[in-house]
Homo-oligomer: A and B are copies of this chain.
């Protein structure tokens, strides 16, 4: 398990790129992306409103990344910013009606795209995939 190691990384990154493009291209039709959809999902799970810092924590990403992500969602009319009355340093992201509608459409589109991708795998292969990914996560030092 050392000689062909280089092909493994290349294959993993290549396939992940194709899979991501496949799903992103479907979401783009709805003015969505995986990043935007995940943000809307966390907002809805939280009841429609989250402080930007809370959203960053749940997306497990940078605060400044969330600032820009909310900029884009706001430009699309899927979210708007509101002041946080409890802490004036903080700003709230609030999902709009259009945001709730597009979230439902986007979730269906993502599910369809995922099924297209993984339909060819048997139940056993699906389990192999999950097991392999978990092993690699540990090796890469994922917390």
Contact = CB atoms under 8 A, between A and B. Distances in A.
SS class, residues of chain A in contact with chain B: helix
Nearest to A21: B140
A28 interface: no
A117 B136 contact: yes
Interface residues of A, number: 50
B126 A18 contact: no
A90 interface: no
A86 interface: no
18 contacts: A1-B126, A5-B111, A5-B126, A7-B130, A8-B117, A8-B121, A9-B114, A11-B134, A12-B19, A12-B129, A14-B137, A14-B142, A16-B16, A19-B136, A21-B140, A117-B139, A120-B135, A125-B135
Interface of A: 1-2, 4-9, 11-23, 34, 110-111, 114-123, 125-126, 128-130, 132-142
